[in-house]
Amino acid sequence: MPESKPILPKTVGLWTRPDSPRLVNAKNIFDYMDGAGEIYLGYCFDHLEAWEFESRTQKAILVELYFMKTADDAFGLLSLDWGGEPVDLHQSPQENAGSVNSFLPRALYGEGLLRIWSDAIYARVMAYQETPESKEAVLTLGRSIVKGRRNPQAPNLFQSLPDSFGSDWMLLKERATFFRSHLVLNSLYYLGQENMLDLSLSSEAVTSPYERKDAKGKKRIQFLLVRYSDNKHASQALSHFHRAYLPEYPIAQQPVSSKEMASVFSVEDGWMGYKLRDNVIAFIFECPDQETAKTIINQIK
């Protein structure tokens, strides 16, 4: 791990922890959690420490410390759900997470649950029953988790999300997510059971809806950006996607000397398009018409 692990207090308020945590790794994660383990393994997961603080008069508080292999992966877990009230657990003002991410908190609290991104650790601190005493204890534990730890920037790929496409389509920041796995993607925006984008722990991806408001109400499109290790892997992934998602359209032959190609297509739920440039592919889904799809694809830098 890039930093030493947090030191949790032995006692906080009415609650006391055991001397050692429950240790969970990739081999026994499904014994600890049923089903949700796939989400954590979809990021670069190292191990989990689970501590249960007990009280004689109130229900327990569970502390889960997910040690990830990079800060980007810890951020990705927090980005799966931006729900809750932002809280500042630091004694001094935090650094901004980036221009497009200026709204992004590093900790969120709601209904007894505190979720934290602290460098390469993603943490969950949950009171089984929310009371004024348990809320204070949860926040105190949160402060002990982040104490002395770095505040790295959000992933570069996440920061590259455009705030808007033109003046019409605006980024829904509270729905923007960083991930690596097709299982995580399908929980955010379902493309199909198959891993048609060849996503793996060596790839990076971000996705978010963009919304346009007009006289007829709200309309949404879905933007997806994937970065691979090199152009070869990106080109192979795009070919795989095209065969699986667009079987009725022939695959355009990419010039040997070119590392960029772009196309738009009419599909069942509107228009979609993609652009490959070097080792990055951008996708846009559910566009209302061909012109919108072409305009957005052309705007992607």
Tokens, residue 28: 């026994």
In this structure, are residues 67 and 1 in contact, taking their beta carbons and an 8 Å threshold?
Answer: yes
Provide the 10 A C-beta neighbour count for residue 56. Answer: 7
Going from the C-alpha of 121 to that of each of 76, 86, 155, the distances in angstroms are 11, 18, 14
**pLDDT computed for residue 254 by the predictor:** 57
In this structure, are residues 69 and 122 in contact, taking their beta carbons and an 8 Å threshold?
Answer: no
- Share above pLDDT 90 across residues of the chain, in percent, rounded to a whole number: 83
Beta bridge partner(s), residue 68: 45
Given pLDDT bands bounded at 50, 70 and 90, which one contains residue 94? very low
User: How does pLDDT run across 162-200, given as a tens digit for each residue?
Assistant: 999 988 899 999 999 999 999 999 999 999 999 999 999
User: How does pLDDT run across 242-284, given as a tens digit for each residue?
Assistant: 999 999 998 876 554 457 889 999 999 899 999 999 999 999 9
Given pLDDT bands bounded at 50, 70 and 90, which one contains residue 149? very high
Rounded distance between C-alpha atoms, residue 116 and residue 119, angstroms:
10
* N-to-C CA span, the chain: 34
**pLDDT computed for residue 223 by the predictor:** 97
**Cα 301 to the chain's mean position, in Å?**
22
pTM: predicted TM-score of the whole model, two decimal places: 0.92
- pLDDT of 301 strictly over 80: no
- pLDDT of 35 strictly over 60: yes
Domains within the chain, CATH numbers bracketed = 11-146 (no CATH), 156-299 (3.40.1000)
